[in-house]
Every structure is written in structure tokens, then in C-alpha cells.
Amino acid sequence: MFAFGGFCLTMIPMSNSITVRITDDLNEWLEEEVRITGLPKGRIIREHLESSRTRKARKPFLDLAGSVDGAPDLSSRKGFSR
């Protein structure tokens, strides 16, 4: 990590790269994000990937939300329903 005049530059070694083809619509959105934030495309994409990864790690059970059909009270055993 380097500090220059109140700015901090953090260097994180990254050795993996990928090539992804995106739609024109997605590219327009990405270009707009670059214009608004001033961040490079790679950083925006990395941040979104990290956000997606941590969101799924915290709540994997939500992938099943709404996938079960049936009565609101699925318990059929006596003593468990109210």
C-alpha cells in the first residue's frame, strides 16, 4: 500500500482474467456507470461480482422462496398447526 498526499493506493495482485461478450444494452449501462463514477469498467464488474457472491453466501435459502405450492400452513401433523 502506498500513500501520496492524502491519497491511498492499494495494490492487490490479480492474475486471473476473463473475456465476456455483453449485449449493447448492457454495454450502454456499463459506459454510463463509467461516466458517472469515473471508475474503470473492470472495477465496476469486479464490485458487482463480489456483491453477488457475498449476497448468495449470506442467503442461499432465498433461492427457494416461493417455489413451494400448497396451503400456507403445510404442517399436517396434529399438534403442530394452530
Global pTM value: 0.53
34, 37, 40, 46 alpha-carbon torsion, rounded to 10°: -100
**Alpha carbon 54 to its chain's center:** 7
Q: Is 3 helix (H, G, I), strand (E, B) or coil?
A: strand
Question: Which grid cell sits at 27?
Answer: 454495454
* DSSP state, residue 67: -
In tens digits, the chain (82 residues) has pLDDT values of: 455 556 666 667 778 888 989 999 999 999 999 999 999 999 999 999 988 887 766 666 666 776 767 666 666 666 665 5
- C-alpha torsion sign, points 42, 22, 51, 32: positive
